[in-house]
Structure 1
């Protein structure tokens, strides 16, 4: 392997361009190729002075690569990731890992069998504030976690949907497009979700998908969670507004996650820790708060640096294919539960399940 890693991006749209900017900020990593059949992506690649190919297959035939970032539509993720693995190339797939648990499961098994790194782009885990929250929770600062509450409310303007009509269709609502981020973080911080009971309401704008949904989450460790998402509510309580992660969104000093424990509670992303004075669990005792300190850096840049370390075998994936698969599985179960208005257990993906789905590949 060369001293400077050679990366490629497949799909140079809005997300792909953000990845390109992140690659440029990571030492010893170079963006050497782009694959994009669209004229806009090709023009962007030309502007960067980077060779652009119409297909991922053509790119692999022409360029030697150490890693690939897939920033394409979800329906293409598994097919293109398989192409990377067949070319023995580590791959970072944008979230969600695939369009269905069934196809994603086969992809994860294939990558594992061939020992090719497969990472999923749940970049929020790479945010220093999330790492600090993870450290605090694992260190017992709030005692035993008992409950978690998440809110993902915002209002997407009409032109957002007019620009891409597929966003109005079934499967493109806020549960699959937005809530997948929040579910991944809640899993990371609080444990595995084993059952859900969800409800959803049809879009008031007349679209095919939902525009509001809520779910009760049951965890393997006994935690109970509630989460709500809507892209038709005017409100400040979402990760986009509160985390200051993406400068495109105006920052608001609010929280969108509340994690409650036996000795205290933690709100995010403000990292505010609440407990009774002298750690006395007594509702007659005054509560006090302190804000945990943490470093600040761009999680997308951190994610590329981590991808580099994984390629060089200096680290194991923070968000592996298996992790991305499990998050997708929770999202799928929420959608199915909302459809049938019933509580559903989440199937444990065992080796026999993997074997059963092997034919997808």
Structure 2
């Protein structure tokens, strides 16, 4: 079976990762890059593919089988609508849109057109996350009571410089760029989030967007959660630095980004360290837990996502992260922003 031709729009940090994984794919190959920057022209030359300045030019001259949009958040909706109008399957980097209203408009348009649209919450393809979900759903933890999570790390100044200055303004802060990943993880492991509270601060970087957020969550099943987010602290307690899924990051395999807790046990993720009571009558802080570490098979979720995109293009699979699923992740993050602004509890629709 011939490999599908995939074009990548955007040759920034995440775009380069998509280019790398598409070139390695067993199901797809890189057909073109769309990006007006001089750097992108260099990348295209290195990869041996044509470069286009606009999606219109690509679609008119070199129509691919699918397009990955790794462009700034504010461009996602209009570029996705271009792909939908052209009948080309599209994988949109998260977030699906820079505002909730625009996200709704895109999802409604995609559903009306029966378009093949996926959102790049790539951790839903992670074998670690899938094993965590499987373990939690097995019931060994009992009913879930609480979850504690963190995404705390230090982003260098270069992350915000030059062509990445859009990350210093609305839509470019860690809530939309990073917390939206965590929302996807939390929804997968614990369930739908129905209310949030939050404090945010920009006291350290002093940018127009937040650098730190402290968040509390209420889940549909009654569980509660807390989450600490910061891109300006020296700490390893983040998915990137604990999961070992991306070798670009230093790794600390003894650290967890999440602890999911139920009435019968608790699970650290991604270490998959499980502590539990075998018998309900043993549940007491005076008695020791049974302890074990659940074995894992690791794989790069970005690579698995490209393979999944190819399967969706061919009609062999339905999106693991649909437009509506991506919209719900955005809805929760939008509620976090609103809660931080108002100081109030913000309820989250789950329609």
| Class of the TM-score when normalised by the shorter of the 2 chains | over 0.9
- Structure 2 match to 1:83: 82
- Residues 304-323 of structure 1 aligned to structure 2 (within 5 Å): 304-323=306-325
- Residues 237-248 of structure 1 aligned to structure 2 (within 5 Å): 237-248=237-248
Q: Is contact 2:192–2:350 with CA below 8 Å preserved after alignment?
A: no
Distance 2:296 2:184 in 1: 21
Q: Is contact 1:149–1:258 with CA below 8 Å preserved after alignment?
A: yes
For structure 2, list consecutive stretches of 5 or more residues without a partner in the other structure. none
Question: How large is the Cα RMSD of the aligned pairs?
Answer: 1.5
What secondary structure does 1:24 align onto?
helix
Pairing partner for 2:287 from 285, 310, 324 = 285
Distance 2:209 2:307 in 1: 36
* 1:149 CA displacement: 0.9
- Structure 1 match to 2:33: 34
Q: Is contact 2:328–2:350 with CA below 8 Å preserved after alignment?
A: no
* 1:168 CA displacement: 2.8
Pairing partner for 1:345 from 337, 344, 347 = 347
Q: When the two structures are superposed, what TM-score results if normalisation uses the length of structure 2?
A: 0.95
What secondary structure does 2:96 align onto?
coil
1:195 aligns with 2:195: yes
**Greater CA drift, 194-203 or 169-178:** 169-178
Q: Is contact 1:277–1:286 with CA below 8 Å preserved after alignment?
A: no
- Residues 85-124 of structure 1 aligned to structure 2 (within 5 Å): 85-124=84-123
Q: Is contact 1:8–1:69 with CA below 8 Å preserved after alignment?
A: yes
- Residues 165-314 of structure 1 aligned to structure 2 (within 5 Å): 165-252=165-252, 253-278=254-279, 280-314=282-316
* 1:28 CA displacement: 3.1
Distance 1:114 1:26 in 2: 28
Q: When the two structures are superposed, what TM-score results if normalisation uses the length of structure 1?
A: 0.92
Q: Deviations over 1:27-69 (max 9, x none)?
A: 2312112211111112101111101111001100112322111
For structure 1, list consecutive stretches of 5 or more residues without a partner in the other structure. 350-361
Q: Is contact 1:148–1:226 with CA below 8 Å preserved after alignment?
A: yes
* 1:348 CA displacement: 4.0
- Structure 2 match to 1:11: 10
* 1:283 CA displacement: 1.9
Distance 2:300 2:51 in 1: 27
Q: Is contact 1:256–1:268 with CA below 8 Å preserved after alignment?
A: yes
* 1:205 CA displacement: 3.0
Matched pairs, number: 348
* 1:204 CA displacement: 2.3
